[in-house]
Amino acid sequence: MRIDIDALVPWVGSLVVVLLGSLVFPNFLSLDYLLTQAQIASFLGVLAAGAMVVILLGHIDLSVPWTLGWAAIVSTTLVGTGHPVLEAIAIPAALCTGAIIGVVNGIGVAVFRIPSMVWTLAVNAMLLGTSVLFTGGFNPRGEASPLMRALASGDKLGLPNALWVWLMLSVALVWLLRRTAFGRYLVAIGLSEKATWLSGVGTPRIVFGAFIVAGLCSALGGVLLAGYANQAYQSMGDPYLMPVIAAVVIGGTSILGGRGSYLGTVGGALFITLLTSVLSVMQFGEAWRQIIFGGIIILMLLVQNFRRGVQA
Amino acid sequence: MPHDVVTPSGTAPIVELRGASRHYGPVVALSEVDFACHAGEIHAVLGENGAGKSTLMKLVAGVVQPEPGEVRVDGHPVRLSSPRVALEHGIVCMFQELSLAPDLSVRDNVLLGARSTGLGFFSYRRMHDVRALLDRIGGESIRLTARVRDLTLPDRQLVEIVKALYREPRLLILDEATSALNASVVERVFTLLRERRDAGLGVLFISHRFHEVEALADRISVFRNGRHVETFDNGRYDYGDIIQRMVGQSIDELFPPKASVDEVPGEVVLAVDGLTWNGRLHDLCFNVRAGDIIGIGGLDGQGQITLLQALFGVLRRVDGAVKIGERVLAPENPRIAKQSSTGLALVPEDRKTEGLIPHLSIAANLELAQLGHDGPGDADFEALAAELELKCASFAQPAAALSGGNQQKVALMKWLALSPRCLLLADPTRGIDVRTKTQIYALLRRLASQGVAVVLLSTDHEELVHLCDRVHVFYDGRIVSTLAGEELTSEAVVSASLDSGAAA
C-alpha cells in the first residue's frame, strides 16, 4: 500500500506541536494529557470523517454544525422524557435525524444540482431556525443517557471510549473507501463526474450516499458531544465547522475532490486538537490564539502547495 | 508547384507563407506549406476536416506562429505575433466562432477596435457608414442600437462581416463566414466582396459549401493532411477532379478486409426508427446488424455526436423507437444503457475528459465501467492489452502518463470488458498515429466478425470508406445519404456531405 506523503504532514505537525509544547510544559508528554487530547480529537475526527467523504466527491457539507446540534437535541430530549423505550432509541433516533438531513442535502445537490456550498448552508440555516422554534431559543431541556455519557467520557482497556468509537468508525470508513465500489466511484466522481457518468455509473445515488454518510457522522459527533456535556445547547456545533474542514484539507484531501487519504484526515483532527490545546495552555489571549491558529493552518497549506508544485 | 504561381498584378503578394509548419503536441496540423494570397483576388481554400485550413487561417491572422517557417507581408518577412499586429498590416480575420461581445450594441461592436476610432468618440458619420454597409448586405432590419445577444445567428454573422469590412482590410479572411446565411443574402455579400476585390482587396475564403466556392473564388488552393496539394484558377478542374485532390489516394494496407458480401447478414441488433431530439435530430431511421460496422459521417457538428449520445442515454426526452437487446426505448441513462439486457457501450469523443479519468490509474479506469455491472465477471484485460499492444509499465500507472493512442486503447478496453452487443465509437482515431489506428481497425473488424454491432462516427473519410460496411451521411440532424458497396467511395462521402450543404 502506497502512503500519501500529504497525509503524513499533519502527523509530523502533531509531533512538532507536542514536542514544542513540552519544552514549556513537560506535562505535555504525559500519557494522561495525550489520552485526554485523543478523546477530544475523537469528536472532531468523527465529524471530519463525514466531511471528508463529501469533500472527496468534490462537494462540501456546511450543515455540519446544526446537523450535530439537532442530533444532540433529539437524543437528549428523548432521554429527558424519562421513558425507558424512548431512552433506548435516543441514539438510533439521533442517527436517523442525521441520515434524513443527509437525504435533504442529497436531493439539493444530486437532483436539483444546486452547488452544495449554497444548498447545505441554506439547510444549516433552516435547521437553526427549526431548533429555535422547537426549543423557544433556550437550551433544550433533557439530558444525556448513561450510554451516551459512557461513550463520550468513559474508557475501556486504558483508552477513552470516544477513541474506540472513532477507531471503529475509521475501520468502517477505510473499508468503505477502499474495498467497495462506492468508495471508488466517490473518487472517480471527485475527479471527473462526467467521465464517471459516461462509464454508466449512477452518479446521483453515489452523491446521495455520500451526504447520508456525512449526516450520520455529524449525528454521531452530536451524540458524543451531548454525552460529553451531558446536555444539548444552542449553537453547540458552530465552533466545529471550520476545524472540521481544516482537518480534512490539512490531511491532504483536495478541496476540489478526488484526491485524499483517510489517514491524513485522522492526522488533521489530531493536529488541530493539539494545536488548540497548546495555544490555550500557553495563555495567549483569545485574539492571538485565533490569529496564530489561522496562520499555522495557512502555513501548512502553503507547505503542501509548495511541495506539490516542486513535484509537478 | 505553389512557387511558380504568377502574380496577377505583378507585385509581391499581400501575405505569403514559406515552408510554414505547425504542430500541436505530436499532431501535425500544417507541414511545410508554401502559400500566397494576392491583392485583388478571392482565394478559396478547400480541404477535409483536419486538412489544416483553420491552422492556415490562424497563421495568416496572427493567432499562432509558424514553427518553423516564415510569413511575408508585401514581400518582407514579418512576425505576426498577435491579431493586433496582423491588423496593423491590414489583415482582418472573421472566424468561424463568432467574436462579437453579446452585451454590446451592434454599433459598439462594429466600432470597437476599428481603425482611427481612437478614444472612442463615435461620430454621426461613422454611424452612417455602418448603417450603409449593413443595408448593402441585407441587414436593413438590424437596428444599430440592438444588443447583439438579441440578434438571430444570421444577423450576427452579418454584423461580423460588417465589423470586418469596417476595419478597411487589405486582406480579409472569411472562415465559414456565410454558414448561417440564406442564398439571397449570400449573393448580396458576394456582390459586395467582388466590388471590394476589384478595388484591390484580397480575400481568403473557407467554405464547406462547394457551390459558394465555385461562384466566388478566383483561385482555389487544396489542402490535405496539413499539406498544400495544389493551387489553380477556378474553373480549371471540374468538381470530381477537385474532390479527388481533396481526398487523395486511398491507403489500402491500413484497413483489414471487409466481410465478404455473400455472408449471411446477422440479426438486427440495433433498430432505430424515427429518432428525434430537441430540434437537433430529425426522424432518424436505420438498422445495425450483428457483424456490421456502420459509419456515421458528414461535416462537423451535424448531429452525429448527438445521435450517439441519444442512443446511450445521455440526452433526456429522446423521441422515437430504439430497439436494442430486450429494450424498445432509448435508455434513460448510461447506467441502464450498459446493463447486459441492453448491451450498449460508448467510447466518447474526448478521451481526456469523457472517456478516461487521467489522474486515476489504468486499472481504476478499466474497472470503472465494469464495477456494478451485471454481466459476466472479470474480463481478461491482460489479453486485451496484449492484443492491442498497450504500452504501459504497469496497470498501476496513471492513465495521464500514456500517449494519446494508448489512452484510447484503455478507453476501448474498459468497455470491451462488458462484452457489449453494440459498440458506439465517437471518432476513436482522431489525433492518433497510423500504427495505433491500424490496431484499432483490426480490433473493430474482429469484434464485428464475432457478432458485435459497431457504430463508428468518424471525421476521417478514409476510415468510413475502407472500414465501414455502410455509411450514413449526416447534415443538420438528418441522414441525407446512405452509401454502401460500390457506391461507398471517398468522393461520394465528401460530395454527399457538401452537396447537402448546398441544398440547405
Distance from C-alpha of A121 to C-alpha of A137, rounded to nearest angstrom: 20
Pick the range with the lowest mean pLDDT from A46-55, B266-275, B371-380.
B371-380
Task: Label residue B458 by pLDDT band (50, 70, 90).
Answer: confident
**In chain B, which among 329-358 make CB contacts under 8 A with chain A?**
333-335, 337-338, 346, 348, 353-357
Whether this prediction's pTM lies above 0.80 is answered by no
The pLDDT, as a whole number, for residue A167 is: 96
Annotated domain spans of chain B: 2-247, 267-355+421-503
**Residue B445 predicted with pLDDT over 80:** yes
Cα-trace Rg, chain B: 25
- Count CB pairs under 8 A between chains A and B: 57
Q: In this model, does residue B6 exceed pLDDT 70?
A: no
Asked whether residue B55 carries a pLDDT value surpassing 90, the answer given is no
The residue that leads in pLDDT, B112 or A273, is: A273
| pLDDT reported for residue B117 | 55
pLDDT higher than threshold 60 for residue B384 = yes
Residues of A with CB under 8 A from a CB of B: 181, 184-185, 187-188, 191-192, 194-202, 258-259
pLDDT band at A272 (very low <50, low <70, confident <90, very high): very high
* A77 Cβ contact partners less than 8 Å away, ≥ 6 residues apart: A140, A141, A142, A232
Mark which residues 69-108 of B lie under 8 Å from A by CB.
Answer: none
Give the mean pLDDT of chain B.
81
Provide the H-helix boundaries in chain A. Answer: 5-24, 31-56, 64-80, 84-88, 90-106, 116-135, 146-153, 161-179, 181-191, 193-198, 203-229, 241-250, 262-281, 286-311
In this complex, the residue of A188, A201, A259 whose CB is nearest that of residue B335 is: A201
* Res. B1 pLDDT band, cuts 50 70 90: very low
A 10 A CB-CB count for B189 gives 23
Give the torsion sign (CA, B3, B5, B6, B12): negative
Contact B357 A195 (CB under 8 A): yes
Domains B2-247 and B267-355+421-503 in one fold: yes
Q: Do B334 and A200 touch (CB under 8 A)?
A: yes
Judge whether residue B377 has pLDDT over 60: no
Q: Quick one: fold of B267-355+421-503? A: Rossmann fold (3.40.50)
In chain A, where are the structural domains located? Answer: 5-311
> Which pLDDT band holds residue A288 (cuts at 50, 70, 90)?
confident
- Say how many Å lie between the first and final Cα of chain B, rounded: 35
Q: What is the pLDDT of residue A3?
A: 60
Q: Give the pLDDT score at B375.
A: 61
pLDDT at A73 over 90: yes
Confidence of residue B248 (pLDDT cuts 50, 70, 90): low
Lowest mean per-residue pLDDT among A58-62, A75-79, A106-110, B430-434: B430-434
A5-311 placed in CATH 1.10.3470: yes
B334 neighbourhood in chain A, CB within 8 Å: 197-201
Inter-chain CB proximity B357 and A181 less than 8 Å: no
With CA atoms as reference, the chain A residue closest to B371 would be: A181
* % chain B with pLDDT above 90: 12
Mean per-residue pLDDT for B93-109? 76
Q: Do B356 and A195 touch (CB under 8 A)?
A: yes
Question: Which has more pLDDT, B247 or A170?
Answer: A170
- B393 Cβ neighbours under 8 A, 6+ residues apart: none
Classify strands B293-298 and B202-206 as parallel, antiparallel or unpaired: unpaired
Res. B352: pLDDT tops 80? yes
Q: DSSP letter for A293, please.
A: H
pLDDT value at A121 more than 90? yes
| DSSP string over B229-260 | EEEEETTSS-HHHHHHHHH----GGGSPPPPP
Give chain B positions within 8 Å (CB) of A190. Answer: none
- Whole-number percent of chain B with pLDDT over 70: 86
Q: Does the distance separating the beta carbons of A202 and B335 come in below 8 Å?
A: yes
Q: How confident is the model at residue B374 (pLDDT cuts 50, 70, 90)?
A: low
Among B274-288, B339-353, B384-398, B425-439, the least confident range: B425-439
ipTM of the prediction greater than 0.90, yes or no: no
> Considering chain A, what percentage of its residues have pLDDT values greater than 70?
97
Q: Report which DSSP code applies to B105.
A: B
Give me the pLDDT at residue B503, please: 44
Q: Which whole number is the average pLDDT over B325-348?
A: 84
Instruction: Choose among B335, B353, B368: nearest Cβ to A188.
Output: B368
Least CA distance to B355: which residue of chain A? A195
**Cα separation, A268 vs B223, whole angstroms:** 59
Predicted confidence (pLDDT) at residue B351 exceeds the cutoff of 80: yes
Strands B422-426 and B453-457: parallel
Q: What is the pLDDT of residue A257?
A: 86
Q: Between residues B171 and B51, which one has the greater pLDDT?
A: B171
Task: Reply yes or no on whether the pLDDT at A102 is more than 60.
Answer: yes
Mean pLDDT of B409-416: 91
Start-to-end CA span in chain A (Å): 22
CATH architecture of the domain covering B2-247: 3-Layer(aba) Sandwich (3.40)
Per-residue pLDDT, B341: 83
